[in-house]
Amino acid sequence: MTTDRLRADGVETARPGAGPPALVATKVTKTFSGTTVLKGVDLEVRSGEVHGLVGENGSGKSTFIKVLAGYHAPDDIPETEIVVHGESLPLPLDPDRQRRRGVVFVHQDLGLVESATVTENIRLRTRRVRPGWRVSWREENRHVASLLARFGLDVAPGRPVAELSQVQRAQVAIVRAFDQLGDATRGLLVLDEPTASLPRDGVDQLFATVRQVAATGVGVLLVTHRLEEILDHTQRVTVFRNGSVVECAPTASLDEAALTELILGQPLDEFYPAPHEPREEVIAEFVEVQGSDVRPTSFTVHRGEVVGVTGLIGMGWDELPYLLFGARRATGGVIRTASGGQTRLRSLTPRQAMGLGFALLPADRLVEASVQSASVRENLSIATVGRYFRRGRVRRRLEAARVGLLLDEYDVRPRGTERPLSTLSGGNQQKVLIAKWFETEPELLLLHEPTQGVDVGAQSQIYQRIRDAVRAGLGVVLASAEYEHLPHICDRVLVFREGQVVSELSGQDMNRSRIAGDCLRPSTEPR
């Protein structure tokens, strides 16, 4: 099928494996503070080949890519070697020189300047400067036009990137990477989750461009969670698990089930969930919630219940908590609370959501959840400072005493209430922020990756807190991609794909491999 497509594209095809391999990585090892996350990884990408790289979150994929980019230095082991087109690169790699050595990257965020034109984006770093630092944009436009024509992209070089569709942007990013290679017959293009933010119907167009790039003799390493992309568009695939390569095989020899089993390390059982028994008392009913990633979705949260929502990044579950809190504008949907009140999500503000008894702990601690320069006390009591305002002033001693008590209770270390939040570790910061929201006495906690960037000890404390809250009668919506944790904390898990709940797991069926399997399973249902 793959070769058929290549022929159908009508591109002159460099035979895979003709020249030296685009990349040979040997015994790449990486240890972070005692934990080895890459255990002597070997990987070969042939020139002219699209090579898939798959594995669960935490399998070492992204660490390997970061080593390739020169962002992490590999452990200093004599056998470690990275060879690009027959040339051994000095280790550690210098991130600024990787491009010149023929290794280019397209990351998920693409790195395009929206307000600049296609030409400016493609030629930003590689434009030819004439005497007097003059850049001939006419010449640059001509160059880019021929480049775009070569890959069959119908995009005007002078258009601002902001006007392009998501797919076109991704294509422009790939063409730019190709252009940066300069001498295109020898190079390695690394695509790191390039389709995560694309609509599904655009993916085929994108891969047409990728195949054309590969046809010129460039080796392409494709990192993705989406197995159908691997099966449809790669020649070979390497599977990482727990920091090691467990398999490297021709894609044609694998099917979806075999690949899933390789990724998870155990077979995926195919049982469908038994209907789950909801508890009596409802905290909130969400009807037809809709956002930019979430397609109309309805569900109910009961008292004392933890509802997990999960999926692959960008599938809607990670937007859900923000929509329910009014942190991001929903395009539709209604909240019905136990008191009989009905609130439209479209016009919900965080303040109103708090009035409904909701609390949101965002995943992005630095940007959305805390003021790093403010003190622990100020961060912890920002939502409840009003209650210390007595007889004309905020009673700071009262406030500090209460905060100190909470720091003890939540085991935050070090204990000072007045130190800037930034001086605490991630886990301790997170405990402070959880305490902040418990102080508002919420009915429903909305959590997004509450244990992200948190050490193992703090993780278990945070989960303990969630369990305590539930025992006290709260409801929790836990949005997380930590499949292995979810079954232990949640009463039910809703798995999202393409913005919709595709399965609801509970009881026996709610286990790690089931969740991961449902996240990964190619979408065969009619759209």
Partner 1 sequence: MDTSSGTRESCFAFIGRYGVVLAWGVLIALFGVLLGPSFLAVSTFQTIFGTQAVLLILALGLLVALVVGEFDLSIVGVMSMSVMIVGVLNVLHGWPIWLAVLTAQVSGVAIGMLNALLVLRLGINSMVVTLGAGTFWSGVGYGLYATTIPGVDTRLSTAVNTRMGGLPLGFYYAAALTVALWYVVAFTPLGRYLHFVGANRTVSRLSGIRVDLIRGGSLVVSATLAAFAGVVLVGMLGASTPSASSTYLLPAFAAVFLGTTTIQVGKFNPWGTFVAVYFLITGITGLQLYGFSGWVVDVFYGGALVASVALSRIFARKGAR
Question: Which residues lie near partner 1 (CB under 8 A)?
Answer: 325, 327, 349-351, 354, 360, 362, 367-371, 373-374, 378, 382-383, 385-386, 389, 392-394, 420, 422, 436
- Least Å distance between CB 345 and partner 1? 16
Contact status, residue 422 vs residue 372, Cβ threshold 8 Å: yes
Helix (H, G, I), strand (E, B) or coil at 457: helix
- Least Å distance between CB 386 and partner 1? 5
- How, if at all, do strands 444-448 and 475-479 pair? parallel
Q: Number of C-alpha atoms within 13 angstroms, CB side, residue 168?
A: 17
Which residues does residue 394 pair with via DSSP β-bridges, in sequence order? 389
- Least Å distance between CB 380 and partner 1? 11
Comparison of 382 and 472: residue with beta carbon closer to partner 1: 382
d(CA 204, CA 206): 5
Helix (H, G, I), strand (E, B) or coil at 515: helix
Question: Cα–Cα–Cα angle for 499, 500, 502, nearest 5°?
Answer: 135
Comparison of 28 and 421: residue with beta carbon closer to partner 1: 421
Comparison of 224 and 381: residue with beta carbon closer to partner 1: 381
Comparison of 31 and 422: residue with beta carbon closer to partner 1: 422
- Which residues, including other chains, have CB under 8 Å from residue 523's CB and lie 6 or more apart? 200, 228, 497, 498, 502
Distance of CA 122 to the CA centre of its chain: 25
Comparison of 45 and 406: residue with beta carbon closer to partner 1: 406
- Least Å distance between CB 508 and partner 1? 37
Cα–Cα distances in angstroms (integers) from residue 511 to residues 91, 143, 247, 479, in the given order: 41, 53, 24, 16
- Least Å distance between CB 351 and partner 1? 5
Comparison of 446 and 515: residue with beta carbon closer to partner 1: 446
Comparison of 319 and 378: residue with beta carbon closer to partner 1: 378
- Least Å distance between CB 370 and partner 1? 6
Structure tokens at 107: 């990351």
- Least Å distance between CB 461 and partner 1? 23
Helix (H, G, I), strand (E, B) or coil at 404: helix
d(CA 191, CA 109): 11
Cα–Cα distances in angstroms (integers) from residue 452 to residues 223, 314, 422, 476, in the given order: 22, 17, 16, 17
Comparison of 311 and 357: residue with beta carbon closer to partner 1: 357
Helix (H, G, I), strand (E, B) or coil at 22: coil
d(CA 263, CA 246): 8
- Least Å distance between CB 519 and partner 1? 27
Contact status, residue 424 vs residue 416, Cβ threshold 8 Å: no
Q: Whose CA is closest to 265, among 236, 242, 231?
A: 242
Structure tokens at 45: 């990408």
- Least Å distance between CB 141 and partner 1? 32
Residue 359 backbone dihedrals phi, psi, to 5 degrees: -140, 140
Comparison of 236 and 377: residue with beta carbon closer to partner 1: 377
- Least Å distance between CB 489 and partner 1? 23
Comparison of 73 and 162: residue with beta carbon closer to partner 1: 162
- Least Å distance between CB 440 and partner 1? 8
Alpha helices in 115-251 (DSSP H): 118-123, 137-150, 166-181, 200-215, 227-233
Comparison of 130 and 396: residue with beta carbon closer to partner 1: 396
Integer distance in angstroms from the first to the last C-alpha of the chain? 23
- Which residues, including other chains, have CB under 8 Å from residue 337's CB and lie 6 or more apart? 283, 284, 285, 343, 356, 357
Structure tokens at 133: 């630092």
Comparison of 338 and 385: residue with beta carbon closer to partner 1: 385
- Least Å distance between CB 392 and partner 1? 7
